[in-house]
Amino acid sequence: MAAAAAARDERRDGGPAKHQPLAGKIAVVTGSTYGIGLAIARRLAQHGAHVVVSSRTEEHVAHAAEELHAEGLNVTGIVCHVGDADQRTKLIKETVSKLGGLDILVLNAAVNPYVGPLLNATAEVWDKVLDVNLKAPFLFVKEAAPHMKERGEGAVVFISSVTAYFPNEDIGPYCVSKTALLGLTKALSRPLAAMNIRVNNVAPGLIETGFSAGLTKDEKMMQMFRNVTAIPRAGYPEEVASLVSFLCSRDAGYITGQTMVVDGGGISRL
Ligand code: NAP
């Protein structure tokens, strides 16, 4: 038990190496005030980037920025609801004007506004889920790419889900929006490569956050997950964050248009 806790603390600290592959980089992470987004912001900053943390709620942004500052990390907080075009533009413009550019964009914010039979999903549900989970990430990339090009190179990471591979009928629109991100990643890889920008997609399995608490706190459900994953537990946000940081670094310089799964060896693909 003590060893498992120590291993988790080490993941949170960024590991013993303390290397800085992202030194001098400026990064924006959407939906980064708690959960996986906060872990990504922390890891990018531990690896040397100046990170803009953001989400819909001013109080959450201030709290996350304070928490990371207290850890000695270089962060700036900017409020942004990713479904709002003006707020998206403000996030990119303020980042560039305050911090001097933009190198890394992680599109993590997403919503799941509907649980129920797929055939009962309304047009409003589809509009919301596609606006926030698919259109907003694309429109962010469109707006950020010229700034990345100006810096000479850039990296974009989408956050999808393993449910992209096996859509669950009860959360159908959410799953399908995540499947679409796989296609968007591939489709963007060539036009972005022409600007020296790489784009990749990370598909987490079940990760311990507020978003998944309904599942992780349900022992029956957890037993089912343990039966289908090689590593019989839910993942930690830090285990998604470490892959995102790698994909943003020059160590991943020949990787683009790919989706990578972080699911403890589940049933996502052959
Ligand atoms: P979470 O714990 O609920 O955190 C969501 C974060 O996004 C918060 O910072 C929230 O802050 C912000 N947010 C929510 N809606 C937003 C919006 N419209 N605009 C801007 N920020 C917004 O979620 P999570 O579990 O970390 O999930 C993060 C990503 O991983 C999502 O893309 C999710 O689909 C994906 N994912 C999660 C799991 C899992 O098991 N947890 C599995 C697969 C994929 P505010 O409330 O202040 O806005």
Claim: this prediction has a pTM higher than 0.85: yes
Best residue among 78, 82, 91, 108 to mutate for probing ligand 1, ranked by most atoms within 8 Å of CB: 108
In angstroms, the CA 221 to CA 185 distance is 31
Helices (H), the chain: 2-13, 35-46, 58-70, 85-99, 123-130, 136-151, 172-193, 213-216, 219-228, 237-248
Local structure of residue 253 (DSSP, 8 states): T
Whether 1 shows a pLDDT value over 60: the answer reads no
Give the pLDDT confidence score for residue 221 in this predicted structure: 86
Greater pLDDT, 269 or 71:
71
In single-letter form, the type of residue at position 189 comes to S
Whether 93 shows a pLDDT value over 80: the answer reads yes
CA dist 203 → 58, 179, 188, 199 (Å): 28, 10, 17, 14
Contact 199, 158 (CB under 8 A): yes
Active-site residue (options: 34, 114, 165, 174)? 174
What's the whole-number average pLDDT of the chain?
94
Whether 148 shows a pLDDT value over 90: the answer reads yes
Contact 248, 22 (CB under 8 A): yes
Task: Show Cβ contacts of residue 147 under 8 Å, excluding neighbours closer than 6 positions.
Answer: 92, 96, 101, 102
- The two tokens of residue 44 are 């990018």
Give the pLDDT confidence score for residue 35 in this predicted structure: 98
For residues 137-143, average pLDDT? 98
* Residue recorded with tokens 């490569």: 193
| Least-confidence region, from 1-5, 160-164, 211-215 | 1-5
- The model's pLDDT over 207-263, given as tens digits with 9 standing for 90+, comes to 999 999 988 999 998 998 899 899 999 999 999 999 999 999 999 999 999 999 999
Whether 16 shows a pLDDT value over 60: the answer reads no
For residues 259-268, average pLDDT? 91
Give the pLDDT confidence score for residue 8 in this predicted structure: 67
In angstroms, the CA 218 to CA 208 distance is 12
* Residue recorded with tokens 């994909």: 247
What are φ and ψ of residue 193, in 5° steps? -60, -35
Contact 73, 45 (CB under 8 A): yes
- The model's pLDDT over 111-130, given as tens digits with 9 standing for 90+, comes to 999 999 999 999 999 999 99
- The two tokens of residue 146 are 């010229």
Contact 31, 55 (CB under 8 A): yes
In angstroms, the CA 168 to CA 216 distance is 17
Give the pLDDT confidence score for residue 19 in this predicted structure: 81
The ligand 1 atom nearest the CA atom of 33: 9
For residues 82-103, average pLDDT? 98
56 lines ligand 1 (CB under 6 A): yes
Nearest to 4 by CA among 232, 265, 270: 232
Contact 80, 90 (CB under 8 A): yes
Q: What's the 230 CA to ligand 1 centre distance in angstroms?
A: 25
For residues 7-22, average pLDDT? 70
Whether 142 shows a pLDDT value over 90: the answer reads yes
Alpha carbon 154 to chain centroid, angstroms:
16
Nearest-CA residue for atom 13 of ligand 1: 31
